[in-house]
A and B are shown apart, each in its own frame.
Chain A
Amino acid sequence: MRINNLVKAILFMSISLLLMSTSCEKDPEPDPIHEPTPYSFVIPKGFPTNFIIPEDNPMTVEGIKLGRYLYYDDRMSGKADEGMPMSCSSCHKQEFAFENGVGKGTGTTGEQTDNVMLPHINLLWNPGAYLWNGSVASIEEDVVGTVYAHNEFASTPEKVVAAISAVDMYPPLFEAAFGTPQITMDRIAKAISQFIRTQISFNSKFDQKQRGEYQYSDAEERGLVLFQTEEGADCFHCHGSVGNPLFTTHLFYNNAKDDNFEGENDRYSVTGNVIDKGAYKATTLRNIELTGPYMHDGRFTTLDQVIDFYSEGLVYSEYAHPLMEKLRPPYGIGAELNPGEKADLKAFLLTLTDYDFIDENNELSNPFK
């Protein structure tokens, strides 16, 4: 009997021993009911390794899929039943590199936006100052702002949520993207933002040249030199270069278009800093061929007009940015390019067009078609 007790004691201690040894490992997390699939992508050659994905909105395969539908769904205005359908894609059309191709946008009420549309290109790398004056801190914030804006959706989150909730296909898509089928404005904004962050343009002739897959023509080569030399057209200080393939510094400049900036919705209206008067974002030049009209107010309809402006049309004011150093009155009003140089510069700019980006069969296209 005593021996049996001892055997039991040994067994008890052995079990304790096993329990204690396994207690050294952490308890496993309970299996999630549903987890969206993390989205992975390859950073194109030469592109920044620092990109902007909010901690509370990680990119997922399901979130991007949902965002793509919402981006193209005219019920997003929440006013389709009032005869005023509108979606992101109403003003950000793929054929124009997700710009609208006509200049200022027109909202559901017929009111025009203050400035022309900005294209959705490589915003994954935008460091957090969106729109022409940098007044918006995130894509998510911009989506919600579009819903409210009197000259865009002129709607409310409640209307938008109700309209999207009424569509049978969406609850399962929200469940896949966020774990539960609840539809909220926050989730709508997050999903659309995820999709916008996949709008990456990286296969223009310029990119192919950088990868050794394309050789510039003589005109394109000469145009590149003009683009990124001070004695040439000196575009690169504001718009990036071979070494900055986003083709924007994401900074704000007064580029000498005007001499009066009263009442403008410029960078100064955001910062209150006098040097920002008349300053607007130096937009990306990727796909610039497709994203006219040009400048914040769309005053130029063609690239030729833009080149003419920088060549001989700068307007003096004390607020012009120092990088507009060719503005040196009374005898300096631009880069003073000759016709051949203008043609070369344009030839280089056209190498920034990415036809794969606007391919209507790619994964950025309208999923309803």
Chain B
Amino acid sequence: MMNLLNYKTIILIVLAAILSLASSCEKDPEPDPQPTTGKLQLNFDFYNEADPMEWGIKKYTNAAGNEYNAYYVKFFISRLTIFKDGEATVLNKFHNSHYVGTDVAPSLQWTIADDIEKGGYDSLSFTFGFNDEDNESFMFVNQPEVNMFWPEELGGGYHAMQLDGKWRLSNDSLTGFNFHLGPGQVYNTSGDITGFIDNSFIVSIPSSDFVINEGNTTSLILRMHVDKWFTSPIEYDHNTYGGSIMEIQEAMEKVVMNGWDVFSIVK
């Protein structure tokens, strides 16, 4: 009797072990935690005054009266920052920039990697280009970013922007403008470069409040108003500085000054 009981006990133990092992093949499902964060996505578009920008040969007239067209714009934004109750959070710390090229469709949408705590946010801002601390030569190796390289002789790093097009000269011919922004140079009286100037600037966008919902992606349109690069506070005349301005700090300074209201958020 005792032996039989012992065998029954052994059988029960083995059966329990089998069941235990069988069930161990499947992991116990973890209870889904309730997300407290969501994502932010920026979609880039481009306007000229009230209408979508037409890249190519479409004629526009800027505030200085230059007839011009624009083939494309390429630019970097970095240090995207969101504000809530006066507190700033810099997003995308581990890859804190985004390249936008109107000829590279995937670049026109940027879903920021960071998980953002749900709730309402007051506004956002970003650095146009890279500030001096971030603008390191050779930090990119792939195209299209490497095509924005800014020669080390002129300050190094990368262009903040290449806005390229053509304007009509007084003799009716069309000539190219390379409205490029990047580090400026300080020259001495001999024409030698003695220092560099950080031409990046922070764009703070008014009326850019938004809400992040848990588990969802909030999409915003970040709109560049191309005409405003040439409008305020400076009426930028291509005839003043010619087609290339990478080595003309006075011209790039005007680009920086005009950049303050070039962007808006469309919800």
Question: What is A's interface to B at a CB cutoff of 8 Å?
Answer: 2-3, 6, 9-10, 13-14, 16-17, 20-21, 23-24, 46-50, 125, 127, 225, 228-231, 234, 236-237, 240-244, 246, 249-251, 273-275, 316, 318, 320-330, 332
Contacts and interface: CB of A to CB of B under 8 A. Distances in A.
B169 interface: yes
B166 interface: yes
A48 B141 contact: yes
A46 B141 CA distance: 6
- Interface class of chain A by DSSP: loop
Interface of B: 3-4, 7, 10-11, 14-15, 17-18, 21-22, 24-25, 56-57, 71, 137-138, 140-144, 146-147, 149-154, 158, 162, 164-166, 169, 171, 173-178, 180, 242-247
A321 to B, nearest CB: 7
A234 B151 CA distance: 11
A10 B242 CA distance: 93
A332 B14 CA distance: 93
Given A49-B141, A243-B149, A328-B173, 13 more contacts: A13-B14, A20-B22, A23-B25, A24-B25, A47-B141, A48-B143, A127-B143, A230-B246, A237-B178, A275-B57, A320-B176, A321-B71, A329-B173
Contacts of A229: 151, 153-154, 246-247
Contact of A328 (B7, B11, B175): B175
A86 B165 CA distance: 45
B12 to A, nearest CB: 11
Given A6-B11, A249-B143, A328-B242, A46 B138 contact: yes
Contacts of A250: 143
Most buried by A among B4, B15, B56, B178: B178
A324 B7 contact: no
A325 B243 contact: yes
A48 B175 CA distance: 33
A325 B146 contact: no
B129 to A, nearest CB: 15
A322 B149 contact: no
Contacts of B180: 230
Contacts of B151: 225, 228-229, 236, 241-242
Nearest to A47: B141
12 contacts: A6-B7, A10-B7, A23-B25, A24-B25, A49-B141, A225-B151, A230-B244, A243-B150, A244-B149, A320-B176, A328-B242, A330-B171
Contacts of B245: 230
A251 B146 CA distance: 13
Nearest to A238: B147
Given A6-B7, A273-B56, A17 B14 contact: yes
B14 to A, nearest CB: 5
Given A3-B7, A20-B18, A229-B247, A322 B141 contact: no
A22 B242 CA distance: 76
Contacts of B141: 46-49
A35 to B, nearest CB: 30
B164 A14 contact: no
Nearest to A210: B138
A48 B142 contact: yes
Contacts of B144: 249
B181 to A, nearest CB: 13
